[in-house]
Amino acid sequence: MASTNFVDYVKICCRSGKGGPGSKHFHRDRLTSKGGPDGGDGGRGGHIIIRGTTNEWTLLHLKYRKHVIANHGEGGSKSLSSGKEGADEYLNVPLGTVAKDAETGEVICEITEEGQEFILVEGGKGGRGNSHFKSPTNQNPQYAQPGQDGIEEWKILELKVLADVGLVGFPNAGKSTLLSVVTAAKPEIANYPFTTLVPNLGIINYRETKSFVMADIPGIIEGAHKGKGIGHRFLRHIERNALLLFMIPIDSDDICKEYEILLNELREFNSELLDKNRVLAITKSDMLDDELIEEVKADLPKDVETVFISSVAGLGITELKDILWKRIND
């Protein structure tokens, strides 16, 4: 997924349709010169509806659609005929999309299932025809309700990538390399920070008949929870992952310190992230022999399961898959 084609945030002006007016009509035919009221109701205005689909992976198709306008409802007519409803406007979004009110920041809905729908902005109600206002004291009402106006509101759509396993680590921790080795994904890989600027997804085949989804989240930096280095955009995607795989290279100056910094960034952004299952992978472990690996183990965090891997050499990859599968299905 090219970075230029991945869009995870859009702001859209949504305007629902106006309701049609009710009809002020009285029954007339060749046998009736002064019949009673028979004005029909106006049709409601069109809604703006958000709908989940697995056919979209990004919000790119909505990036340049700044205004979404639904149709107005039609007016009622004679013989108690109701007006046609205004056509609804649908915004198809990938699973994991969150809709928010642009002014208050309040979460309106979260789309997580194929075909799930939610009305972002309701269309105006159609006006009632004069037939509704007939009474014993008013046999010939000369009025009907106008339709309600539509509503215009700005909405924010944010995509949070859905995956079983989210890779968490500083830039150059080897996340993209691991994803390229264990899946068919082709993330951009280079030896400089922030090669990955957007999440990459890959499907891991496990034991021939099983599979799970892994997401390479762009590298976190210290201060990311404050928005440093567009940290909010990075951290947002971690919220949707079932399990977090922390990745720290064996040549790090202080593995425990890096792990604590990563944990703190998650805690400051959303403390609920710490409730997720966690596994720690020590990458580039082909640089050490078995004796040195045992020495390193003694200084590692005790509250997280650890595995030593090398994506390039294939070291520990099968063991890692076994651990991830077991944790996902616990």
User: What is the domain-level CATH number for residue 198?
Assistant: 3.40.50.300
Helix pair 317-328, 175-182: axis angle to 10 deg = 90
> Of 18, 10, 14, 45, which Cα lies nearest the Cα of 152?
14
| Section 60-86 average pLDDT | 94
Q: Which of 32-46, 194-208, 307-321 shows the lowest per-residue confidence on average (mean pLDDT)?
A: 194-208
Q: Residues 223, 115: one domain?
A: no
Residue at token pair 């990075």: 234
Q: Residues 204, 99: one domain?
A: no
Q: Which of 159, 177, 210 is the last residue of a domain?
A: 159
Q: Residue 307: its pLDDT value, please?
A: 94
Is the pLDDT at 192 greater than 50, yes or no?
A: no
pLDDT in tens, 81-105: 999 999 999 999 999 899 999 999 9
Q: Residues 7, 38: one domain?
A: yes
| Section 180-193 average pLDDT | 61
Q: Residues 119, 262: one domain?
A: no
Q: Residues 266, 193: one domain?
A: yes
| Section 244-259 average pLDDT | 91
Band (pLDDT 50/70/90 cuts) for residue 29 is confident
Per-chain mean pLDDT for the chain = 86
Is the pLDDT at 231 greater than 60, yes or no?
A: no
Q: Which of 159, 190, 215 is the last residue of a domain?
A: 159
Is the pLDDT at 2 greater than 90, yes or no?
A: no
Which secondary-structure segment (H or E) carries 205? strand 200-206
Q: Residue 196: its pLDDT value, please?
A: 46
Tabulate helix, strand, coil % of the chain (nearest 5): 20, 30, 50
Question: In angstroms, rounded to a whole number, what is the distance separating the alpha carbons of residues 237 and 281?
Answer: 20
Report the half-sphere exposure of 212 (CA within 13 A, side-chain side): 21
Helices (H), 93-215: 175-182
Q: What's the alpha-carbon Rg for the chain, to the nearest Å?
A: 29
Is residue 314 classed as helix, strand or coil in its secondary structure?
coil
Band (pLDDT 50/70/90 cuts) for residue 153 is very high
Residue 98: which domain range? 3-159
Question: In angstroms, rounded to a whole number, what is the distance separating the alpha carbons of residues 92 and 185?
Answer: 25
| Section 253-276 average pLDDT | 89
Q: Residues 299, 183: one domain?
A: yes
Q: Residue 122: its pLDDT value, please?
A: 97
Is the pLDDT at 197 greater than 80, yes or no?
A: no
Q: Residues 155, 255: one domain?
A: no
Question: In angstroms, rounded to a whole number, what is the distance separating the alpha carbons of residues 273 and 207?
Answer: 29
Band (pLDDT 50/70/90 cuts) for residue 233 is low
Q: Residue 107: its pLDDT value, please?
A: 94
Whole-structure pTM value: 0.70
| 154 and 174 Cβ atoms separated by less than 8 Å | no
Q: Please name the amino acid found at residue 81.
A: S
Is the pLDDT at 177 greater than 50, yes or no?
A: yes
Is the pLDDT at 300 greater than 80, yes or no?
A: yes
Q: Residues 146, 187: one domain?
A: no
Band (pLDDT 50/70/90 cuts) for residue 230 is very low
User: Tokens at residue 152, please?
Assistant: 């215009």
Q: Which of 139, 159, 179 is the last residue of a domain?
A: 159
Question: Which CATH number does the domain housing residue 141 bear?
Answer: 2.70.210.12
For residue 133, report the phi and psi dihedrals to the nearest 5 degrees: -105, 10
Please give the tally of structural domains in the chain. Answer: 2
| Section 47-51 average pLDDT | 98
Regarding predicted confidence, which is higher, 143 or 58? 143
Q: Please name the amino acid found at residue 313.
A: A
Q: Residues 150, 184: one domain?
A: no
Is the pLDDT at 229 greater than 80, yes or no?
A: no
